[in-house]
Amino acid sequence: MNNQPKQARELSQPNLTPWPAAPSKWALVAILLLGFQPRSAQATEKALSPAQASAFARLALKCVEREYPNKPDHVMNDPGEVQGPRAMHPAFYGCFDWHSSVHGHWLLVRILRLFPNLPEAPDIRAALDRNLTSENILVETAYLKRPNRQSFERTYGWAWLLKLAEELGTWDDPQARQWRECLRPLCHELAQRYRDFLPKQTYPIRTGVHPNTAFALAFALDYARAAGDSGLEALLLERSRTYYLRDQAYPASWEPGVRTSSRRA
């Protein structure tokens, strides 16, 4: 990660320092875009050039509407559930897997918000408008409510969906407000899954891959604060303290983000 451009690392700034998720295909882009220090959108825009923003936009545009190859996380309850990715996930069917499609959409929103006059802006808006519809999101939400899908994308995909909703909800743009409203049922379902699951999780998952608990807590906390969900915020803070407050002599140098920050310092 240290070899990647500084501008790319600074594109997204969670309010809590997350433990990084491991790269997998398109998830590499997410890691490149995650920073570890708070930074304003204005500072990020200055650090990231329009040419670099266009390159990221083209990467995501190529991905979010490409159905195959695909690695579905799909539990089938009966023969009628033998379906292709787009039938199961009409909003988030691209980018090889569900969570990668979600953070591909987040990337498009973030780029469009910071650089509204990019040459790719019309294509970005068109892609978001095709995928983030009420009809598509209702299908996505119904999928989650089928039996045996309680653990679908837990908690990495949950975190990225809430991050997408936060990005849209804090952007003063008419289409962004429309897309955020369309996402509301799915956000409600995933926020409830946090509420149901976290009290049952007796210890944090500390591996630096997708199930990492700190990563999921950080993104969900950003969402809860932006959405004004005080109940979810309180749960996330309580779980954070329960999981991590008594940590002592933690080998933080093992974390890639810490090593990168130390070298920069």
The string of pLDDT tens digits covering residues 225-255 is: 999 999 999 999 999 999 999 999 888 777 6
| Residue 128 domain-assigned (yes or no) | yes
| Residue 171 domain-assigned (yes or no) | yes
Q: Give the dihedral sign, CA 96/102/107/109.
A: positive
Q: Domain range holding 125?
A: 6-264
Tally of domains in the chain: 1
CA angle 12, 190, 188 (to 5 degrees): 100
Are 187 and 160 in contact, with CB atoms under 8 Å apart?
A: no
Ranges of the chain with pLDDT below 50: 1-38, 258-265
| Residue 1 domain-assigned (yes or no) | no
**pLDDT score at 26:** 39
Q: Give the dihedral sign, CA 262/240/160/171.
A: negative
**pLDDT score at 137:** 98
Peptide bond preceding 69 in cis form (omega within 30 of 0): yes
Are 134 and 126 in contact, with CB atoms under 8 Å apart?
A: no
Q: Which of 109, 126, 95, 81 is nearest to 24 (CA)?
A: 95
Are 41 and 13 in contact, with CB atoms under 8 Å apart?
A: no
Structure letter (DSSP) for residue 84: -
Q: Burial letters for 41-78: b for 16+ Cβ neighbours within 10 Å, e otherwise?
A: eeebbebbeeebbbebbbebbebbbeeeebeeebeeee
| Residue 60 domain-assigned (yes or no) | yes
| Residue 67 domain-assigned (yes or no) | yes
Are 224 and 239 in contact, with CB atoms under 8 Å apart?
A: no
CA-CA distance, 67 to 95, in Å (whole number)?
7
> What global pTM score does this model have?
0.82
**pLDDT score at 30:** 39
| Residue 70 domain-assigned (yes or no) | yes
| Residue 241 domain-assigned (yes or no) | yes
